[in-house]
Chains A and B, each alone.
Chain A
Amino acid sequence: MARITASVYTSHVPAIGAAMDLGKTHEPYWQPMFAGYDFSRQWLRENTPDVILMVYNDHATAFSLDMIPTFALGTAAEYQVADEGWGPRPVPKVTGHPELASHIAQSVIQQDFDLTIVNKMDVDHGLTVPLSLMCGEKDPVKDAWPCPVIPLAVNVVQYPVPSGMRCLNLGRAIRKAIESYDEDLKVQIWGTGGMSHQLQGARAGLINKAWDNRFLDLLIENPVGLAEIPHIEYVREAGSEGIELVMWLIARGAMADVDQARPLPKVVHRFYHVPASNTAVGHLIMENPV
């Protein structure tokens, strides 16, 4: 049986990818941010899963205004790294896991989540920056990511985005889907985006450390309560783009304690840093009890 062993939460700021691609990670501006991921890289080397299910959002890259799917699951064998206007990031292409992805799609749709199924798309910084943060620098040709990745793209660009509760419940459905897969696979689910940031208007640059840290506390201890927070609170308190944080609830909803009488997941790492470009960086790693 496949099972979810751990969940990872991290921001996916494009400037982080640019800092790695341009060799700036040791500059004083960036060093404290990357230091927060030293533990995580070691942890991932010691706890490499068979598959990562990556919850992220596309930033007007694969999905223009021609199509705006709320939840889009990638079932392709591989995904190319997108040219977002600066040229593609120099990182390896992403290998998918079509068998498990198709299984999840069927199971989750049968649990009343009407996913869009995607067999061809490029992936942008929303997906590649978390991989870079957790895996370190990778040569685009000679290296590969440590395991296959299943992309789950969530619309957080055009309002209304899915509610926190809808996201938490999708995570619950994903856990059931994964646990009904026969092959003995270790799966991690990563929730990405956030934390507080606003990229637009006179209010650009908004950061809310107190709100972000409360979000981290609730994500660990009371995810159902956190899922009840309405969109407008994210906008007012964490900035218009801070709404990306609803995606973390999908990963949290897939942890064992949400549906079963289990202890809270073990928090093995927690990190928070301001700023990376316009954004507060938050990061958590939680392990399911064995």
Chain B
Amino acid sequence: MALEKPYLDVPGTIIFDAEQSRKGYWLNQFCVSLMKADNRARFKANERAYLDEWPMSEEQKQAVLARDLNWCMRTGGNIYFLARIGATDGKSFQQMAGSMTGMSEDEYRAMMVAGGRSAEGNRYLGEDGDAQPQHQPQGHAGRDAQAKGH
């Protein structure tokens, strides 16, 4: 019997379930290690060497080095754990969340001040809201990509 996973058709969203947790175990535990100031300093001094101390996949290490949080999540990262990387870089939760949309920091902040992203069109894959795959990346980055004919 398959497990019930009713959340796979929510656009722009990865639910951190037991399967993701298993995939991301070492990536997330690496993130936990950054709660110690000494470890943050060692990571900053030589990121690759510090990552190599962990039995993470090469893809997970590349995702961390690229600071691509969507990529980190696809490989099993959880945002509360990944936040430790942002904290080490001096980034706020808002900067981290915004970075996953393709919007600039100012664009994302303005969206939040204006009341946030609407759920309209963003409840199910296949609708036409701004979080749907066909509308990525968002903000200027997306408009630039469109102008170039992508």
Interface residues, chain A, CB within 8 Å of chain B?
14-15, 18, 29, 59-61, 64-66, 68, 82-87, 157-160, 196, 198-209, 211, 230-232, 235-237, 240-241, 274-275, 277-278, 280
Residues on the A chain within 8 Å of B10, using CB: 203, 235-236, 240
Q: Is B17 an interface residue (CB 8 A)?
A: yes
| Complex: A236 Cα to B10 Cα, angstroms | 7
Interface size for chain B: under 10, 10 to 19, 20 to 34, or 35 or more residues?
35 or more
Partner of A60, one of B18, B80, B93: B80
Partner of B11, one of A200, A203, A207, A280: A203
Contact call B35/A201, Cβ cutoff below 8 A:
no
Contact call A158/B16, Cβ cutoff below 8 A:
yes
- Known interface pairs A65-B25, A211-B119, A275-B113. Does A204 touch B37 (Cβ–Cβ under 8 Å)? no
| Complex: A83 Cα to B35 Cα, angstroms | 6
| A/B pair count, beta carbons within 8 Å | 168
| Complex: A225 Cα to B97 Cα, angstroms | 32
Chain B residue with minimal CB distance to A210?
B119
Binary CB contact string for chain B from 18 to 30 against chain A (1 if under 8 A, 0 otherwise): 1001001100110
Chain A residue with minimal CB distance to B123?
A236
Residues on the B chain within 8 Å of A86, using CB: 87
CB proximity of A202 to chain B, nearest CB, Å: 3
Residues on the B chain within 8 Å of A29, using CB: 113
Residues on the B chain within 8 Å of A205, using CB: 97-98, 101, 108, 111-112, 116-117
Interface residues, chain B, CB within 8 Å of chain A?
6-7, 10-18, 21, 24-25, 28-29, 31-32, 34-37, 40, 69-70, 73, 78-81, 83-84, 86-88, 92-94, 96-98, 100-102, 108, 111-113, 115-119, 122-124, 131-133, 135-136, 138
| Complex: A277 Cα to B113 Cα, angstroms | 9
Contact call A202/B100, Cβ cutoff below 8 A:
yes
Contact call B94/A277, Cβ cutoff below 8 A:
yes
Residues on the B chain within 8 Å of A211, using CB: 119
| Complex: A51 Cα to B58 Cα, angstroms | 49
Residues on the A chain within 8 Å of B78, using CB: 60, 157-158
Partner of A200, one of B24, B73, B102: B73
Partner of B97, one of A65, A200, A235, A236: A200
| Complex: A84 Cα to B82 Cα, angstroms | 11
Contact call A83/B93, Cβ cutoff below 8 A:
no
